[in-house]
């Protein structure tokens, strides 16, 4: 039981170390953003996050309905 726990902790420690190599070795290094809107490949294809796409579609609509202001 103890061997399995130590093995699991060791694997987790190695995984975290390997994932953080870029951050530790590069000056000012940080994780890449996984947000769709910040991905260069998605931008090339014209794909944005759902909220941005919805906002753009609402602004471009010829038949948009003005909301009532209170």
Q: Which residues contact 29 (CB under 8 A, 6 or more apart)?
A: 22, 23
**Percent of the chain residues past pLDDT 70, beyond the cut:** 89
Mean pLDDT of 31-52: 78
Q: What per-residue confidence (pLDDT) applies to 25?
A: 79
Q: What per-residue confidence (pLDDT) applies to 36?
A: 78
Q: What per-residue confidence (pLDDT) applies to 61?
A: 66
In residues, how long is the chain? Answer: 70
More confident residue, 10 or 70: 10
Q: Is the pLDDT of residue 69 over 80?
A: no
């Amino acid at each position: 039981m103890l061997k399995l726990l130590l093995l699991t902790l060791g694997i987790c420690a190695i995984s975290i170390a390997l994932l953080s190599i870029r951050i530790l070795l590069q000056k000012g290094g940080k994780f890449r953003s996984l947000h769709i809107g910040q991905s260069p490949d998605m931008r090339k294809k014209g794909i944005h996050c759902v909220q941005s796409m919805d906002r753009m579609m609402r602004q471009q609509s010829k038949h948009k309905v003005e909301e009532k202001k209170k």
